[in-house]
């Protein structure tokens, strides 16, 4: 999970994942979406591959990247407790707002 969190820590890599969430893309297409040089894009793609967040396949001379959402399962499971904590707090806030409205009427 540490490699996934490290990969997600960079804005450019998150941008790549957002693009790949919608459709597979070539390295060139991904490079056009980022304000960095192609060697930098290649380094980001390598980090994403090593973290298991993307797959790559060869199509003639192009490399096509696609998202591997299952790599995010561990992060989602880790965040579940925090999500539950916030949900509990939001439910309590909702209850207090409802009480306030009832008291005003």
Pairing, β 25-26 against β 54-59:
unpaired
70 is in which domain, residue-wise?
Answer: 2-104
Q: How many domains in the chain?
A: 1
Residues sharing a CB contact under 8 Å with residue 8, sequence separation 6 or more, in sequence order: 14, 17, 75
- 10 sits in the region (left: phi over 0; alpha: psi -120 to 50; else beta) called beta
- Summarised one tens digit per residue, pLDDT across range 8-64 is 999 999 999 999 999 999 999 999 999 999 999 999 999 999 999 999 999 888 999
How much is the pTM?
Answer: 0.79
Residue 95 belongs to what H/E stretch?
helix 73-104
Q: How far apart are the first and last CA of the chain?
A: 51
30 DSSP assignment: H
Q: What CATH number has the domain bearing residue 73?
A: 1.10.10.10
């Amino acid at each position: 999970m540490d490699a996934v969190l490290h990969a997600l820590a960079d804005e450019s890599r998150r941008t790549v994942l957002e693009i790949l969430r919608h459709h597979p893309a070539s390295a060139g297409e991904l490079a056009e979406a980022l304000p960095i040089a192609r060697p930098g894009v290649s380094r980001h793609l390598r980090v994403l591959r090593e973290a298991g967040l993307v797959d790559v396949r060869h199509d003639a001379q192009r490399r096509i990247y696609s998202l591997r959402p299952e790599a995010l399962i561990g992060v989602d499971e880790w965040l579940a407790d925090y999500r539950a904590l916030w949900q509990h707090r939001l439910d309590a806030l909702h209850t207090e707002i409802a009480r306030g409205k009832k008291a005003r009427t």
